[in-house]
Structure 1
Amino acid sequence: MNDTIKGLYEVVLDRKEHPSEGSYTCYLFEKGLDKILKKVGEESAETIIAAKNGDKTEISNEVCDLLYHLLVMLAETGVDIDTVNGILEERRQKIGNLKQFHQTDKNT
């Protein structure tokens, strides 16, 4: 797993366990899941718009915002980042199997 994403997730978890005044992450946890999900939706839309506009810097920044809010959502819902990483790894292992999966017998 990317050490940066895992490290950020650990910071998010620490903020959840040890609230710090003035922390945006703590503010999100204080407001609850609905607020967190609203931010995930907003950042998703902003990422889509950035991609449509084609500005690579804007895209990169919006993806970072989206990833951060997704990490907060994972922490709030009790989903561990290692679980997500495991699923991604399983899917990565399947890459290349698509051709075999879609082969059909044209003689039948």
Structure 2
Amino acid sequence: MLEKLYNEIEERKNDPKEGSYTTYLFDKGLDKILKKVGEEATEVVIAAKNDKEELVSETSDLLYHLLVLLVEKNITLDEINQELDSRVGKKSKISDRKEIKEY
């Protein structure tokens, strides 16, 4: 499904449609797209504290906006898949990670 959505977003960038939200995002540019990614990421965090349906909905919104960002930056899903594949089976030490502090 992500590939299908990515392709539709890419098509919308190449062939804008008046009144389309995706076209609106591309017209507004990178700053608007980044703002939406940030907003949606925050909403995912909040939804995770609430209920499953809200989390599913907000995660879908975030994934959509991330795909818009990838298309805007000309990053393919193959590049993302290659990066994820390169991480499979690798062990990382907790000591190599920044500490996550709870507030």
Shorter chain as denominator, the TM-score bin is: 0.7 to 0.9
Quote how far apart the aligned CAs of 1:81 are: 1.2
Q: Which amino acid aligns with 1:35?
A: K
Deviation per CA, 1:35-86: give whole Å up to 9, x if none: 0000000000000000022x00000000000000000000101111110011
Q: Which residue of 2 aligns with 1:27?
A: 24
Q: 2:53 aligns with which of 53, 57, 60?
A: 57
Say yes or no: does 1:40 pair with 2:54: no
Say yes or no: does 1:71 pair with 2:62: no
- Rg (Cα) greater in structure: 1
TM-score, normalised via structure 2 length: 0.85
Q: Which residue of 1 aligns with 2:13?
A: 16
What is the alpha-carbon root mean square deviation over aligned residues?
1.2
Structure 1 residue ranges, 4+ long, deviating more than 2 angstroms after superposition: none
Q: What is the CA–CA distance in structure 1 between the aligned matches of 2:82 and 2:20, rounded to whole Å? A: 30
5+ unaligned residues in a row in structure 2: which ranges?
94-103
Q: What is the CA–CA distance in structure 2 between the aligned matches of 1:87 and 1:7, rounded to whole Å? A: 20
Q: What is the CA–CA distance in structure 1 between the aligned matches of 2:49 and 2:78, rounded to whole Å? A: 31
> How many residues were matched structurally?
93
TM-score, normalised via structure 1 length: 0.82
Indicate the structure with greater helix content: 1
Q: Which amino acid aligns with 1:30?
A: D
Q: What is the CA–CA distance in structure 2 between the aligned matches of 1:88 and 1:61, rounded to whole Å? A: 24
Q: Which residue of 2 aligns with 1:88?
A: 84
